[in-house]
Amino acid sequence: MHSLARITVITLALGMSACAVHRPEPTTNLPPIPPSQPSPTPSTSPTPGKSIPAKPSKPVPRTSASFAPPPGGNSHWDQKLGVYVLDDQPNTFYRQRTYFRWNNGWTRSISPNGPWEDTDIHGVPPGLGKQFGQ
């Protein structure tokens, strides 16, 4: 019975020590999420002589809830296109580990610096295809 207890203790100790060996992955500094504010509800019957204030526009999200941003690049999430738009490279987009570029036709790459390979409208996210067409 003592040998069974020893094996159990040794197994638990080895298992627990494996957790201490792994280092956590570095985290990416994401911009802070702005706090949400309750929107005022306008009355259904406006008072004569008073105008109803316009609702404040919602802030544009910098990131997507479903897709990770591109590594190491300045970008913002475009809800309509369904991709990240690279801020420092014109007509260059990112989604799911792939960069897309429009230059009178579509190309794609795994790096923002290429190499770029030609693709057609079926190889790009649907929002991009609608925006640029081909």
Per-residue confidence (pLDDT) for residue 117, from 0 to 100 = 94
- Whole-model pTM: value is 0.53
**How many residues appear in the chain?**
134
Residues 6+ apart with CB under 8 A from 64: 77, 84
Q: Which pLDDT score, from 0 to 100, does residue 108 have?
A: 93
Strand partners, 84: 77, 94
Q: What is the pLDDT of residue 99?
A: 92
pLDDT value, residue 10: 77
pLDDT along the chain (134 residues), means of 10: 76 64 57 61 56 56 74 86 90 91 91 91 84 66
Q: What is the predicted pLDDT for the residue at 118?
A: 92
